[in-house]
Structure 1
Amino acid sequence: MMPELALIAVGPRSATLEMACGHPWQAPWDHQVMLDDVPILTTRTNVFTLSGLEPGRDYKVAVESNGHRLSLSIRTREEAALLDVRACGAVGDGRHDDTVFLQAAIQACPAGGTLLVPPGDWLTGPLFLKSGVCLWLQDGARLLGHPDIARWPVLPGILTDAAGRESYLGSWEGTPADCHAGLITGIGVQDVHIFGSGIIDGNARFDTWWSRPKAPFQGWRPRALFLVDSADIQVTGVTVCNSPSWTVHPLFSRRLTFADMKVAAPADSPNTDGINPESCQDVRIAGVRFDTGDDCIAIKSGKIWIAQRRPVATERLTISNCLMEQGHGGVVIGSEMASGVKAVEIRDCLFRGTDRGLRIKTRRGRGRLAVVDGIHMRNIRMEGVGSPFVINSFYWCDPDGRTPYVASRQPLPVDEGTPTIANITLRDIEAVETRHCAGHVLGLPERPVDGLTLANYRVRYAADAMPGYPDMAEGIEPLVRAGFHFSHVRGLDLEGVDIAGQTGDALSFDQVDLIP
């Protein structure tokens, strides 16, 4: 293919670009990057950041890659001021509580300005972003979450004004709830760029936040980065790690970019998902390396309670050139998706060792607006993944998850709680060292998956694989090196499906309408 070069994000002092070269995550050859004809970077990673730029200046970027030369022009944004947090009293020695000084610096920085966090360990409680202010975490800078839970304020889940209108400041698993503020919190902010090569470290541990995964403290566990009702947010270059719960959680927000980042948490840390856009629109996730204790990316839109009050679907989301390692799921949709998830493109990504690749999970009771429609995945490589692709319409979450209403495999009446899954395409997928099965699709008998295409879908297996569950529902048994099972699918199109080395049949069907 002809490579393409695109600008993903630009701030006053950095720019992040993406090479589309046909190879997921990184190329087998070098990308030689030049700025105004001066070589500045050699990388094989397809998403990269140019740092050390000057505000309000035009640059010409050229990339030489595999015999091709691509170029584009960029202009960095203007910068009204540069404020060093030390000027406001912050110390950065990892011992002094810098919260009030860091927050004072954020408030003092004028709109259009950049707040500089230099190298150091900046011990802090939650910080609240301000519209129009960029946050620059230099190399060696670490925002370190305070280990004292009492220093993390609780935000009410619901605020109601005199007219009865509701707004939401906290959320837990798809429902408004009182939550501790995130280490970095943005409420109704716009035009914010968090950039640099520093670290946002939630500093969660098993003797603090991770000690009670299913019970609140003063409120439910916070996120490392929480955004609500915010817009035009860019997060580039930084590492976000050790979050108390979901690492990056934007809610009811739009025009968001997360690029050239690392998101990490120990493999045994509870609910430390990577990036979870919930009821968000126009989201781009590019060049992010995930290594988490739960799903790498989980796309959500709330449970039915919130869908009845503020139904906002997650729409127009692009995931590209990401590396997913050791998470439960690579890209997961649901199960809290009662307002719908639509128009998602996943391309040029590498999955290593995740339990599942693309996972769509829902259940009866999510509601009539719980429509998953237009999910397209292409040019993906999976290595050592348990199950490359799963649709589970019987996910056993919530207190009633094992009741006959959720778990029954007999057709029930279509009602206000019936979800929909439609128009799913997987193209040019290669899965090697697969452990559990080539794929597992369970549609509802009363509402089958409507429109599923697999094209150029290739699966090979790990010789030493151990049995595991393709997903979580009543009646699903552990599998090892199994083929692809389809149940209750209308309009299944298989083109170039290549499964070899499995135990049993490569393909099995139950109530499936195949396209000839």
Structure 2
Amino acid sequence: MKKLLTFILLGLVFVSTAEQIPYSAINCRKHVAHLTDFGGKGDGVTSNTAAFKAAVANLSQVASDGGALLVVPPGKWLTGSFGLASHFTLYVHQKAVILGSQEESDYPLIDSLPSYGSGREAPGKRFSSLIVGTNLTDVVITGGNGTIDGQGEIWWKKFKAKQLKNTRPYMIEILHSTNLQISDLTLTNSPSWHVHPTYCTNVIIERLTILAPVTVPNTDGIDPDSCTDTRIRDSYVVSGDDCIAVKSGWDQYGISYAVPTQRLSIRSFTCISPDSAVIALGSEMSGGIRDLRAEDIHALNSQSGIRIKTGVGRGGYVKDIYVRNVEMENMEYFFWMNGDYGSHPDPGWDPKALPVITNINYRDMKGKNVTVVGGLAGIKGDDFTSICISNVTMELATENKEKKEPWKCEDVGGVSSNVTPKACPQLAEKAVDCPFPTDTLDIDKVELNKCFVDV
């Protein structure tokens, strides 16, 4: 592998050798450079925004010649928002920490997403995310379990005090891109959501550790939004909000944009989220969510397991959902569906836009210390249908101060089989194994290459 150091004025290229460390990626790179080659300083104090931007601008020039990799070496690298390029890898060394700036001016204001029509937290614009990219092909964000720390506490305080007129920045947001990989990193303390691939195709998210205080709202772990062919693997999230939140746009804007999240595969995933869900579908699902397959899921001390969040005005659909092999402990809700959830972007939402929730399949699950097994509430006149739950055993919490019933169902319909405690009457008992697809999604067939990086 060549070490590329490009000087625009002198036009020089230097080649050297160094220790090589293996990593996995959708594509290896021909050229490699270090952030220090572009004036970066890892002292935790000096701003490296200009260094990151210069590095990406220079290395993007070799995109057609095997692509380039930028090493963030050991140190603490303070930076504001910066963008990535196609055929590009950002590699964060094991002993490196990228620190998000705490200055609002380091995050330019950008327009709301077309499928949202408004900032998610405020009617104004959005602060650009820490790491961004638009219309990219073949981009990798990875490392030797290096760290990206959003230093979000100042943002959390401003949000709580209602001092922000625009939506907080996310940590990583990639838009309108294909062949995206985010892997082998520790992400912590984002101002808001941590990983937000949006309008993307062929997305691989693997071996992430995401950590945020459980008391801070909207610090979601991974939010695939209007994405096709996505896989999430071998990851661990502690969050003050949903560990995974599957989305596809908000009310009339999502309905009009009409780009679903589809063919999403989740496997070997662990979550702790005392106030939110392990996997949430919605509430912004107006473009539709279909063909989700989740298995080998573990949760501890979380508010809910698999949750569908929607409401009048959302439109869209959640259908063809398949979940199996789930173990959870210390849960308030195991299965939770809401037909009355969520706010609206503006008064233009359509009260006649009702969501379609159908073909929801859960099987082979165990739970301990669960307060409510199923809280399933559809919409009057718009039942959630074809719900199937089979081979599920729950041990109820011994102390239930509110004396909640293990099941409460309304405006839903479906079947249940071998469920303990016995499911609600709306899920009629029937000897059935709820289905799980036997085919393999194309994204699950993708094998990463073994690459090497000079450090």
The question of a shared fold, defined as TM-score above 0.5 by the shorter chain, is answered with: yes
* Shift in alpha-carbon separation, 1:172–1:509, aligned structure 2, 3 A: farther
Equivalent in 337, 351, 354 of residue 418 of structure 1 = 354
Does the Cα contact within 8 Å between 1:433 and 1:461 map onto a contact in 2? yes
Deviation, 1:416, is: 4.0
Cα deviation code 1:438-490 (max 9, x no counterpart): 111112231212201111011002324544xxxxxxxxxxx54x322222233
Match of 1:366?
A: 314
Match of 2:284?
A: 336
* Shift in alpha-carbon separation, 1:234–1:378, aligned structure 2, 3 A: same
Q: Secondary structure at the match of 1:273?
A: coil
What letter matches 1:450 in structure 2? T
Equivalent in 11, 15, 21 of residue 52 of structure 1 = 21
Q: How does 1:303-322 map to 2 (within 5 A)?
A: 303-322=250-269
- CA–CA distance in structure 1, aligned partners of residues 258 and 123 of structure 2: 13
What letter matches 1:194 in structure 2? I
1:248 aligns with 2:170: no
* Shift in alpha-carbon separation, 1:326–1:153, aligned structure 2, 3 A: same
- CA–CA distance in structure 1, aligned partners of residues 220 and 248 of structure 2: 15
- CA–CA distance in structure 1, aligned partners of residues 129 and 139 of structure 2: 16
Match of 1:133?
A: 88
Gaps of 5+ in 2: 3-19, 432-455
* Shift in alpha-carbon separation, 1:218–1:483, aligned structure 2, 3 A: closer
- CA–CA distance in structure 1, aligned partners of residues 161 and 265 of structure 2: 31
Q: How does 1:273-422 map to 2 (within 5 A)?
A: 273-327=220-274, 328-367=276-315, 370-398=316-344, 416-422=352-358
Q: TM-score, normalised by structure 1?
A: 0.73
Match of 2:45?
A: 95
- CA–CA distance in structure 1, aligned partners of residues 161 and 177 of structure 2: 28
- CA–CA distance in structure 1, aligned partners of residues 77 and 22 of structure 2: 25
- CA–CA distance in structure 2, aligned partners of residues 257 and 198 of structure 1: 18
Match of 1:154?
A: 109
Gaps of 5+ in 1: 1-11, 13-50, 56-74, 159-166, 407-414, 468-478, 500-505
Equivalent in 456, 462, 479 of residue 391 of structure 2 = 456
Does the Cα contact within 8 Å between 2:299 and 2:305 map onto a contact in 1? yes
* Shift in alpha-carbon separation, 1:273–1:420, aligned structure 2, 3 A: same
What letter matches 1:115 in structure 2? L
Q: Let me know the Cα RMSD of the aligned residues.
A: 2.8
Does the Cα contact within 8 Å between 2:116 and 2:345 map onto a contact in 1? no
Report percent identity of matched pairs: 29
Q: Give the paired residue count.
A: 405
What letter matches 1:496 in structure 2? N
Does the Cα contact within 8 Å between 1:210 and 1:270 map onto a contact in 2? no
What letter matches 1:451 in structure 2? S
Match of 1:471?
A: none
Deviation, 1:331, is: 0.2
- CA–CA distance in structure 1, aligned partners of residues 271 and 23 of structure 2: 33
Equivalent in 219, 244, 257 of residue 272 of structure 1 = 219
- CA–CA distance in structure 1, aligned partners of residues 23 and 152 of structure 2: 36
Deviation, 1:335, is: 1.1
Q: Secondary structure at the match of 2:43?
A: coil
What letter matches 1:362 in structure 2? T
- CA–CA distance in structure 2, aligned partners of residues 77 and 315 of structure 1: 24
- CA–CA distance in structure 2, aligned partners of residues 190 and 219 of structure 1: 29
What letter matches 1:422 in structure 2? T
- CA–CA distance in structure 2, aligned partners of residues 252 and 157 of structure 1: 14
- CA–CA distance in structure 1, aligned partners of residues 240 and 23 of structure 2: 38
What letter matches 2:40 in structure 1? A
- CA–CA distance in structure 2, aligned partners of residues 423 and 429 of structure 1: 18
Equivalent in 384, 393, 406 of residue 483 of structure 1 = 406
1:493 aligns with 2:418: no
Cα deviation code 1:127-163 (max 9, x no counterpart): 10111110110111111011111221111226xxxxx
Does the Cα contact within 8 Å between 1:187 and 1:227 map onto a contact in 2? yes
Cα deviation code 1:75-107 (max 9, x no counterpart): 984422110110110011001111101211121
Deviation, 1:113, is: 1.1
- CA–CA distance in structure 1, aligned partners of residues 23 and 340 of structure 2: 53
Deviation, 1:306, is: 1.6
What letter matches 1:119 in structure 2? P
Cα deviation code 1:20-50 (max 9, x no counterpart): xxxxxxxxxxxxxxxxxxxxxxxxxxxxxxx
1:119 aligns with 2:119: no
What letter matches 1:323 in structure 2? T
Match of 2:12?
A: none
What letter matches 2:84 in structure 1? L
- Greater relative contact order (CA < 8 Å, ≥ 6 in sequence): 2
Q: Secondary structure at the match of 2:44?
A: coil
Match of 1:442?
A: 377
